[in-house]
Amino acid sequence: MNLKKKRKKHPIRNLFIASGCSAIVAYIGTQLNEASKRYELKQLSYDSDLYRLDKIEQEQPLDQPTQLYHEFRITEKATNEFLGTCKVYMGQEQTSYYEGHIHVLLNNPAKANCLPAIYTLLIQVAKERLMNHVYFVCDNKDNDSIRLFEMLGAKFNKSINIPEDHPLYSKQRKTRKQYKLELN
């Protein structure tokens, strides 16, 4: 009698017993569709007073049921100048643990004063995607990034050791600082 109770609690097993293999495929397909909806963006651009992020369309690989990141063009509104690109990585805890969820690449480092506004827009994207938290990662001596992360409300989480087989590893970069911003 206990076995029947356990089987009823397991949705895939119930579908298999009730309807055969096609039900399992339908159930798994439904789960993948729901997951991919979670990663779809509700809007294709995000605006602050000074900057705009426009989504860069990407081709979705067939072997990946969900999009792993969203990439944007950064444009200054007043001059319509292209400043660079940025990405928000979705739910990839292994990658994000060492590299962070948000990456910004500016064409001109002199435009770094735009970073707080850009990060704020990217945090908005992460919240829209129902992420619970965002990791920010920087080198130990990158005081500008540390100030930015703290200004955004992130708290120091820990120093992380980069494994020797990771692409970020080098003799000069064995550890990095990880900050965590709770989005709840």
Domains along the sequence of the chain with CATH:
2-37 (no CATH), 42-182 (3.40.630.30)
Find, among 143, 126, 132, the residue nearest to 177 by Cα: 143
For residue 151, the model assigns a pLDDT of 97
For residue 118, the model assigns a pLDDT of 96
The torsion region of residue 9 among left (phi > 0), alpha (psi -120 to 50) and beta comes to alpha
Place of tokens 């602050």: 48
Mean pLDDT of each 10-residue bin along the chain, 184 residues long: 43 35 34 45 83 85 66 95 93 76 93 95 91 92 95 96 85 88 91
Q: What is the model's pTM?
A: 0.71
For residue 69, the model assigns a pLDDT of 84
For residue 21, the model assigns a pLDDT of 32
**What does the longest C-alpha to C-alpha distance in the chain come to?**
72
Neighbouring residues of 30: CB distance < 8 A, sequence distance ≥ 6 = none
- Integer Cα distance of 47 and 100 in angstroms: 23
For residue 31, the model assigns a pLDDT of 40
Q: Find the length of the chain.
A: 184
Find, among 23, 96, 30, the residue nearest to 65 by Cα: 30
- Integer Cα distance of 181 and 153 in angstroms: 6
Name the phi and psi angles at 42, rounded to 5: -75, -30
For residue 42, the model assigns a pLDDT of 61
The torsion region of residue 100 among left (phi > 0), alpha (psi -120 to 50) and beta comes to left
Tokens for 137? 């990662």
